[in-house]
Amino acid sequence: MNAAVDPLNAYVAHTAVHLPGKPGRALSGLTFAVKDIYDLEGCRTGCGNPRWLETHGPATTTAPALQAVLDAGAELTGKVHTDELAYSLNGENAHYGTPRNSKAPTRIPGGSSSGSAAVVAGGAVDFALGSDTGGSVRVPASYCGILGIRTTHGRIATTGLMPLAPSFDTVGWFAREPAIMRRVGGVLLAGGDTGPRHRLVLASDAFAMLDDSGRDGLRQAVDRVKRHFASATDAAVSPVGLAAWMQAFRPLQAREVWACHGAWIEAHKPTFGPGIAERFAWARTVSEAEVAPLRGVRQQAAVRLRDLLGGDALLCLPTAPGAAPIKGTSGPALEEFRGRALSLTAIAGLSGCPQISLPLGETAGAPLGLSLLGPPGTDELLLALAERILGD
């Protein structure tokens, strides 16, 4: 697809697919795109890397989550770019370029669901499917000023998606309108906890990750959310510090990443872009002995979130530590920002909780998302609450 047809640089060139919708179904009348890690029968899944594309044939089946959306009547407009093997939060692909962030054109769109966020923010589709392992839906949603949800780990099957770190991988999606987010949730989710939550817990250690501009940019957003709860209190999420949780998350994720892709990397020797090459090289060195004690940290995080939220609270936190970095920001600066971003996103990653990013803030002239996080199984509640908050 050329620039005149795809001004967002979001659609992959190797698979031009357009499947019309079906009338009279839950998602009839809606258009969508899908991240190029989802298998679609008869099409190749590129996963953001040319060597992957060369060494994998067409998919023989369609990912169940994608099939469910197609069966619900939505019109598929195509597959869209991802960061290489989904192992980045930036959205800058060394092989295929950077999808356009329509809300902040000089800034990156975020990854790894970069194309999915770009087509939604740019108005090309009504919604888009992505995936979230370490923040790959939540961060692009924040950067691009749209809604994005990471679902409870294990609630929606990730069968037919390229795995990154299976014990963290989740299905997610983006939209501009909360009603559309909820319609998609009605297709992909069933049987969740929709009981009311009267308390809001403001994550003081998460808000401390913001600079002054970020705090100012979210102040009115926090007040807007607080109006929907009977009470709001401040509390630190991590007793040992969010940085410590991030430092547990990264090796745990990396160990699984290498288990999934190490053999393919060593056999086919793909070329990876800056940052991603170094990340895979490091993942190769992470040993079982290193990650074994970190599994206890993960369990402690899950228990902490359960105790903090109980049966009547949700957590409020910034989705990202600031506005999207400027395109072409240097490697060291990006890695520093990535570390702070992962300190925020690792909360849901370690605990398996669902989290939705709401486009409520602005900083440095660019979008900044505010998130609500709930106990496992409260995905539908988050979607319903997002609709109420954005409708007030």
Residues taking part in catalysis: 35, 112, 136
Which residue, among 375, 369, 358, has the nearest Cα to 301 in the 3D structure? 375
Instruction: Say which amino acid occupies 341.
Output: A
The DSSP string of 135-196 is STTHHHHHHHTSEEEEPPTTTS--TTB--SSTTT-EEEEEESSHHHHHHHHHHH--S-----
| CA angle (154, 289, 244) in 5-degree steps | 65
Query: CA-to-CA distance for 382 and 373, rounded, in angstroms?
Result: 8
Q: Judge whether 152 and 377 are in contact, CB under 8 Å.
A: yes
Which residue, among 22, 162, 166, has the nearest Cα to 79 in the 3D structure? 162
Which residue, among 356, 362, 81, 62, has the nearest Cα to 210 in the 3D structure? 362
Assign residue 139 a region (left: φ > 0; alpha: ψ between -120 and 50; beta: otherwise). Answer: alpha
Q: How many C-alpha atoms does 61 have within 13 Å on its Cβ side?
A: 7
Instruction: Say which amino acid occupies 256.
Output: E
Which residue, among 151, 150, 224, 203, has the nearest Cα to 317 in the 3D structure? 203
Which residue, among 28, 26, 33, 57, has the nearest Cα to 44 in the 3D structure? 57
Query: CA-to-CA distance for 233 and 308, rounded, in angstroms?
Result: 11
